[in-house]
Chain A
């Protein structure tokens, strides 16, 4: 029952959102090695950290990017997932 305040939606309950996983840049398919690809698909450092995540607001159908701390569950930043954005992930 957490709250999150989103641009143009205001303060919303997290229960209106669907978690879309952490934001990750897909490696270029043309050049990627098998190992790199497996890393992208399966392996990661799952330790507690601040990470950028996809969150989908079901009633409006808008994708957001949250910057969330997976240790404290605190959401530091919220923004629309805009086309062509690039994030450090």
Chain B
């Protein structure tokens, strides 16, 4: 264990439990509590991955999941992040995006031609000759991308849960813990979230060896644990802040959708790398990364390192190394930092050079030395590690997403929130507050404010706890004539790339980002955006504020699809007769979220089964489940008035016990719904709607009742009532067996509706014939529906009854020339085009869409007609949606078509330009293969035009 240190005061590892896993085919051993990166580093693996574009060797850099140097592939997962993935037995990892292996990556050849690939090079080439582009694109696509997908991976879904609290606090560092305590003391319900497995934040790594902080640490942690109204959620990050204080909190178990009344953002800061030549060599890392390595995992960043610093935090990191018995060759201060840690470092005898200019890191595979400038002279130090401590950027994502505005504070040389939305508070380093005691005070102030906001109490005056010291270098970028100073490690973007982008006119933060792709990689600019902004500002002679910052959109970290999707909640609806359908092995189809029998496979083939169902209806009797129809009860003083206003035809003059076809259009006169209306009493109607519109029609009608100020109640009974249609010459005979009620024409004529007892229960029967036979639609409470259905099936046995499905019904209604709204009509069809002017009663003073219809009536250009096929139907039967052609012009389309055995023809409906709609007109139907077949416009209904059959007295025992 090359770099493993002795026990650390706050280490996260369990030295009694070791774990082993494979990396690039080699065995790695670490401790329980290690993450993959720390386990690898401890064993001296310094090359953890290859860079995106040039395939340069990359090591540990932020060690906080703010870069993707350590990005791995397993058999189950792409893009596994070593910085945060626990080391587990049996893991088998390889580096992503290598060609060959991590050690021998052929992709590295790209670096040889790097000079030919300046920023945005791919916009400059590959497009001509055109025919070559696909090959180039393929190559570029293969080079791009990171991990690999296995398309055989099974689906994974993690349940999600809601959690409602009063105050949500993001970040459980010193200020976050302090905020939680203050809020909780106000008696509100607090959730404290941190992405690490333990709370404590930088208190536990930056201050790990700072004895003076142990009291603060003890107080904060113990108080948080002792307060029952604080729920601590660890190993959880806030993927996104959404409106009304909703937080998407991602945990290993799944997504928690956390809603709060107020939110405290104590997310701290991202340490930013210094930009100098070869700053990406393995061994060059952020100082905070080194501190996390040592304090949490007891792993040394290196044996003998230098610390490049612009703030006193760098001195603390040097002290941490020193106190761990590691060699600090020197602290290289880019300025002249002051502070307690500076004094301590000097007291400890660590060499400090001030006013230093970094020049380049040396080394082929990993860091071997560092060259820097001092008083105009170049100096070289041999070292196996370089710690960078040159500044910070706020971890402001939740604040940006909440709508906070940031401004540049020169005192701390950092962007800080300058305006916060209602109920959102920021504290700690994200707010530019660095001194530990101040961070705690700042947190207490924010926590109190958040709680008071929940209670609706006034918030005391806001105090600024920032020390007057700059914790970030204003421009930590040192260009080198030979380049290779990396700003964005994800995307391999160097100083010259950004210069190039800016010089070419992409001198706006967003344009620079889009052209150079800075910040567009998987770490979304966490380690690069700030330096990018600093460069743009400097090169365009603007201030940071004038330059502006890019917005940080969700997700904070890439978030698993399985967590975001959660379980599958897709309501599915079945009718009360489902049991029968299933036992009959019905073939189901989906209608909205309903399941409906398409047909019952009684014959060898689908076609034959449907034919058998059709012939049963035409020659004997059939039974179809129409429970999916929308069913509305409309009752009250103004019921009749409402009906008149809703539908295009007059309804108020319906006799009690009568039924009538009901057609509805919208304000624009477009046909949206049809059904059957029944009048139970003066003030009580019952209407059906099409299956797909039941909910929307009900919604709309209720709305109209309010707009029109009518005294009427509308109830949606769709799911509470089962409905079936008994149709066929024998239907009356069947029903007679089940009811004493007189079914003959004089007692129960065509289009009448009656309420009676059938099979012993109350039902409503409507004598309508959608399929064009003697028929009864029976509506009955859902709880009795299946019983009635079974009774009819039994009673019908002797009359050859068959259940029939949607397909048979479609053909039967087509023979009858009845339209299906949504199939024979489209998004703009009006009643005149649908050939239903008979259903529009302009004499009514008012009805929905009337003025539109009056206009549309005068400008009709297309008409729905019936046609029959002239040529041989067998081999040339057109399909629905085939076009009608005249010369070159498209003059219409087939909306319905079917082979009618009853009529021995292929018949159909078509929407055609009115000039071609006359009876006898020949039509050319263009088959999908382009051939034309002839058809002729004929009158509808095709079957039983006079409707004798529907009106028949057959089976009533009286003379027909």
Interface residue ranges, A against B (CB under 8 Å): 1-3, 18, 20, 26, 29-30, 32, 34, 37, 40-42, 54, 56, 61, 63, 73, 81-85
Instruction: Return chain A residues, CB-CB under 8 Å to B850.
Output: 29
- Taking CB atoms, residues of chain A closer than 8 Å to B851 are 29, 32, 34, 37
The residue of chain A having its C-beta at the shortest distance from the C-beta of B849 within the complex is A41
Does B553 reach chain A (CB closer than 8 Å)? no
State whether A1 touches B243 (Cβ < 8 A).
yes
Beta-carbon contact of A26 and B699 below 8 Å: no
Contact partners of A3 in chain B: CB under 8 A: 244, 259
The answer on a CB contact under 8 Å between A34 and B703 is: no
Among B244, B667, B702, B846, the residue within 8 A (CB) of A1 is B244
Report the minimal beta-carbon distance from A85 to chain B, rounded to whole angstroms.
8
Complex interface: stretch among B537-545, B704-712, B862-870: B704-712
Nearest first, the 7 closest Cβ-Cβ pairs linking A and B are A84-B709, A37-B851, A1-B246, A83-B709, A2-B244, A41-B667, A81-B706
Known: A29-B851, A41-B668. 18 other contacts (CB 8 A): A1-B242, A1-B257, A2-B244, A3-B244, A20-B699, A20-B703, A26-B667, A29-B846, A30-B845, A37-B852, A40-B667, A41-B667, A42-B668, A56-B703, A61-B702, A61-B716, A63-B703, A82-B706
Q: Are B257 and A83 in contact (CB-based, < 8 A)?
A: no
29 A-B pairs (CB sep. < 8 Å): A1-B242, A1-B244, A1-B259, A2-B244, A3-B244, A20-B699, A26-B667, A26-B707, A29-B845, A29-B850, A29-B851, A30-B846, A34-B851, A34-B855, A37-B852, A41-B667, A41-B668, A41-B852, A42-B668, A54-B703, A56-B699, A56-B702, A56-B703, A63-B702, A63-B703, A63-B706, A82-B706, A83-B709, A83-B710
- Complex contacts, A73 vs chain B, CB 8 Å: 243
Bound-complex Cα distance A73 to B244 (A): 10
CB of B479 to closest CB in A, whole Å: 44
Tell me the complex Cα distance, A34–B859, Å: 14
Shortest C-beta distance, A5 to chain B (Å), equals 11
Contact A83 B706 (CB under 8 A): yes
Chain A residues contacting B846 (CB-CB under 8 Å) are: 29-30
Q: Determine the residue in chain A with the shortest Cβ distance to B715.
A: A61
| B644 vs chain A, min Cβ distance (A) | 13
Question: Which residue of chain A has its CB nearest to the CB of B700?
Answer: A20
Q: Report Cα–Cα, A29/B645, bound state, in Å.
A: 12
Bound-complex Cα distance A85 to B852 (A):
26
How far apart are the CA atoms of A27 and B151 in the complex, in Å?
58
For A21, the closest partner residue in chain B by CB is: B703
Could you tell me how many residues of chain B have their Cβ less than 8 Å away from some Cβ of chain A? 24
Binary contact readout B812-853 vs A (1 if CB under 8 angstroms, 0 otherwise): 000000000000000000000000000000000110001110
A84 to B257, CA, bound (A): 40
CB contacts (< 8 Å) of A37 on chain B: these are 851-852, 855
Q: Least Cβ distance of B559 to chain A in Å?
A: 16
Q: How far is the CB of A87 from chain B (nearest CB, A)?
A: 11
- Measured between C-beta atoms, what is the minimum distance from A72 to chain B in Å? 9
User: What does DSSP make chain A's interface, helix, strand, loop or mixed?
Assistant: loop
B686 to chain A, nearest CB (A): 18
Name the B residues within 8 Å of A26 (CB-CB).
667, 707
B187-217: CB near A (< 8 Å → 1, else 0) gives: 0000000000000000000000000000000
What residue of chain B has the Cβ atom nearest to residue A27's Cβ?
B851
**Bound CA–CA A86/B174 (angstroms):** 55
CA distance A82 to B698 in the complex (A): 17
Q: How far is the CB of A48 from chain B (nearest CB, A)?
A: 16
Shortest C-beta distance, A14 to chain B (Å), equals 9
Chain B residues in 8 Å Cβ range of A18: 699
Residues of chain B contacted by A84 (CB below 8 angstroms): 709
Closest to A1 in B: B246
The docked-state distance in angstroms from the alpha carbon of A34 to that of B703 is 25
Given contacts A34-B855, A41-B852, contact A83 B244 (CB under 8 A): no
Determine how close the nearest CB of chain A comes to the CB of B585; give it in whole angstroms. 35
Task: Report the minimal beta-carbon distance from A51 to chain B, rounded to whole angstroms.
Answer: 16
- List residues of chain B with CB within 8 A of the CB of A2: 243-244
Alpha-carbon distance between A82 and B668 when the two chains are bound, in angstroms = 25
A68 to B710, CA, bound (A): 27
- Give the chain A neighbours of B702 by CB distance below 8 A: 56, 61, 63
With a cutoff of 8 Å between Cβ atoms, the chain A residues found around residue B705 in the complex are 83
CA distance A29 to B848 in the complex (A): 10
Which residues in A have their C-beta under 8 angstroms from that of B698? Answer: 61
Q: Chain B contacts of A61 at CB under 8 A?
A: 698, 702, 716
Q: Mark B243-282, 1 if CB is under 8 A from A, else 0.
A: 1101000000000010100000000000000000000000
Question: Which chain A residues lie closer than 8 Å to B716 at the CB level?
Answer: 61
Distance in Å from the Cβ of B736 to the closest Cβ of chain A? 40
- Give chain B residues whose Cβ lies under 8 Å from the Cβ of A56: 699, 702-703
Chain B residue nearest to A81 in the complex (CB): B706
CA distance A42 to B667 in the complex (A): 9
List chain B residues, Cβ under 8 A from A82. Answer: 706
CB neighbours of B257 from chain A (8 A): 1
> In the assembled complex, which residues on chain B have CB atoms less than 8 Å from the CB atom of A42?
668
Residues of chain B in range 667-724 having any CB-CB distance to chain A below 8 Å:
667-668, 698-699, 702-703, 705-707, 709-710, 716
| Nearest residue, chain A, Cβ from B844 | A29
Task: Write out the residue numbers on chain A whose beta carbons fall within 8 Å of the beta carbon of B845.
Answer: 29-30
CA distance A26 to B706 in the complex (A): 13
The distance in angstroms between the C-alpha atoms of A3 and B667, with both chains bound, is 31
Q: 1/0 per position for B928-949, CB-CB distance to A under 8 A?
A: 0000000000000000000000
User: What is the CB-to-nearest-CB distance from A79 to chain B, in angstroms, rounded to a whole number?
Assistant: 12
B852: chain A residues within 8 A (beta carbon) = 37, 41
A22 to chain B, nearest CB (A): 13
Q: How far is the CA of A56 from the CA of B846 in the complex (A)?
A: 25
Q: How far is the CA of A78 from the CA of B698 in the complex (A)?
A: 22
Query: Which residues from A are CB-within-8-Å of B699?
Result: 18, 20, 56
Distance, CA A53 to CA B667, complexed state (A): 17
In angstroms, how far is the closest chain B Cβ from the Cβ of A13?
Answer: 9
Which interface residue of B242, B698, B709, B710 has the most chain A CB atoms within 10 A?
Answer: B709
Q: How far is the CA of A83 from the CA of B257 in the complex (A)?
A: 37
1/0 per residue, CB under 8 A from A, across B520-554: the answer is 00000000000000000000000000000000000
**B709 surroundings in chain A (CB, below 8 A):** 83-84
Chain A residues whose C-beta falls within 8 Å of the C-beta of B243 in the assembled complex: 1-2, 73
Distance, CA A85 to CA B706, complexed state (A): 8
Roughly how many angstroms separate A3 CA and B716 CA in the complex, as a whole number?
27
